[in-house]
Amino acid sequence: MSSPLDLGSLFDSLQDEPDVNRGPLVDKVVWVFISISIIIVALRFWTKWRTTNRLYIDDGLMLMALLVGITHSAIITRAVSTGFGRHIIYLTLEEVQKTMKFGILSLMFDILSPTIGRISFAYTLLMITRSDPRTKTWPIWMFIVLQVLVNFVGITLFYVQCGSHSNVYWNVMEQVSYHDYCWSPKIQTRYGYFMGAFNVVTDAFLAVFPALLIEQTRLSRKTKIGLWCLLGLSAFAMIAAVVKTYEAKMLSKVTDYTYNLCFYVIWVSVELNIVIVTASIPLLRPLFKSKKRHEGRPPNELGDVHLGSVTSFGKNVSRMHTPQHTSTSSLDNIVHYDDTAGVDSAGIVVTREVQVSYETKDAPNVHAALVGLLQGEIANPRLARG
C-alpha cells in the first residue's frame, strides 16, 4: 500500500455498498490450493525416496517454498477473522488496523514462496542439463541469481520505504503523515511492476528452456513433445504471474483494501501453488510409470527402457552385456532392460542385454532419469543427435 488512506472520501463512496463478506471464499480457495500443493510435494518426496533413498537440494528448496506458502495461507485466515473480505466501512477502527497489518505481513510470503519455487525448478533443470555436456548451464544460473536479487530487493524496498515508521501502513491515524515518513509511492509501484514482469519472463524461460534441452536428444518427435509438455508446465505459472501483476494495481491506489484486494490474494495463492505443483509434477513420472508398466518390480527401480533385442540366425547362441557400473546405494538401476525376442523355431536367438545404472549421488543422471530423458535417450539409440 503505497499511498495514504483517505477514510473520509472513501467512506462517502461506500455508503451504498451492501455488507457482504468475501472472506470465507478467499479462505477456502487459498487452503484448497495449498492442500493440493501439500499432496503433490508429498508424492514428490515419496517418489524420490522410493527410487533413490535420498532427497536433493531442489527438494529442500521446494519444501521451503511449500512451508512459506502454508504460512501465507495461515496469515490470510487470520486476516479473514479480523474482517478481510468485508467493506472497510463496516469494520471497526481496530479491525481495520489488524486486517491491514496481516495483509502487509502476508506480502512478504506471497513474494518468497513462488521465488523459492522457481529457484527449486531451475535447480532441477540445472541437474538435468548437467547430464548433457552440450547444453550450457549459465542461463539457468543467471535466472537463479536474478530471481534472488530482484525479488529480495522488492521485499526490502517495500518494508524500508517508511523507515522506522512502518506502522504507518496499518495505523489509520498515522496515514495522514504518510508523505512525511515514506518515499514517493511511484518508487515501490514501478518496481513492483518491474518485479512482476521479471517473474513472468522467468516463468517463460523455465517453460521454453526444457524444449531446447529436449531438442538435442535422441528422441522421436512424439516423445519430445510429450516431455516438453511435462517439463514446460511453467507456462501456467507465467499466466498466473501475469494476472497477479495486473491485480497488483490495487496496491497503489487509495481503495477499499479489505474488500478490493480479495481477488489479488486469490491470484497470489494461484500463482505460488501453480509454481509448486508444476515444478513437482515432472518428478512424479516414475510413480505413474511403475503403476502402469512395472507392477511387482522392486521399489528401487526408476523405470525400464525398451532397448530392443538384436536377433540373428546361426549355429551359436550368444548374449552380450554392456559394462555395468554397480551402485553401492539403494538406487540399483535407474534404467534396466532384459528382453528376449522370439523367432520361429528354426532360428537361433541372439539377445543383447543392456543395463545402465548410476549412484544416487550422480544427481544429473538421476534427475534426467526421473523425468524420462535418460530412458528416452537409451531407448532410441539409432536416432541421430540434434
Cα 75 to Cα 95, 105, 150, 170: the distances in Å are 15, 8, 24, 15
Share of the chain above pLDDT 70, in %: 73
Share of the chain above pLDDT 90, in %: 40
Q: 303 - beta bridge partners?
A: 335
Q: pLDDT higher for 274 or 183?
A: 274
What's the whole-number mean pLDDT along residues 342-369? 57
pLDDT exceeds cutoff 90 at 1: no
- Residue 148 confidence class, pLDDT cut points 50, 70, 90: very high
pLDDT in tens, 285-322: 888 765 555 444 444 444 443 333 333 333 333 333 33
Q: pLDDT higher for 213 or 340?
A: 213
pLDDT exceeds cutoff 80 at 21: yes
Q: Whole-angstrom Cα distance, residue 234 to residue 229?
A: 10
Q: What is the CA radius of gyration of the chain?
A: 27
Q: Whole-angstrom Cα distance, residue 103 to residue 109?
A: 10
Edge-first strand listing for the sheet containing 335-337: 319-321, 351-356, 335-337
Q: 351 - beta bridge partners?
A: 319
Q: Whole-angstrom Cα distance, residue 287 to residue 302?
A: 8
> Are the C-beta atoms of residues 360 and 52 closer than 8 Å to each other?
yes
Q: Whole-angstrom Cα distance, residue 182 to residue 185?
A: 8
Q: Whole-angstrom Cα distance, residue 121 to residue 281?
A: 11
- Residue 378 confidence class, pLDDT cut points 50, 70, 90: low
Q: pLDDT higher for 94 or 300?
A: 94
Global pTM exceeds 0.85: no
**pLDDT value of position 288:** 74
Q: Parse the chain into domains and list their residue ranges.
A: 7-288, 297-379
Q: Whole-angstrom Cα distance, residue 153 to residue 166?
A: 17
Question: What is the average pLDDT value for the chain, to the nearest integer?
Answer: 78
Ranked by mean pLDDT, the top range of 25-29, 91-95, 183-187, 210-214 is 25-29
Q: pLDDT higher for 77 or 186?
A: 77
Cα 277 to Cα 32, 35, 205, 231, 234: the distances in Å are 13, 11, 17, 12, 9
**pLDDT value of position 143:** 97
pLDDT exceeds cutoff 80 at 326: no
Q: Whole-angstrom Cα distance, residue 111 to residue 99?
A: 19
> Are the C-beta atoms of residues 250 and 265 closer than 8 Å to each other?
no
| Residue 163 Rama label (left phi>0; alpha psi -120 to 50; beta) | left
- In CATH, what is the architecture of 7-288? Up-down Bundle (1.20)
- Residue 69 confidence class, pLDDT cut points 50, 70, 90: very high
**pLDDT value of position 320:** 33
Q: Whole-angstrom Cα distance, residue 81 to residue 334?
A: 50
- Contacts from 160-167 at CB under 8 Å and sequence distance 24+? 161/2, 161/187, 161/188
Planar angle of CA 266, 79, 272, nearest 5 degrees:
30
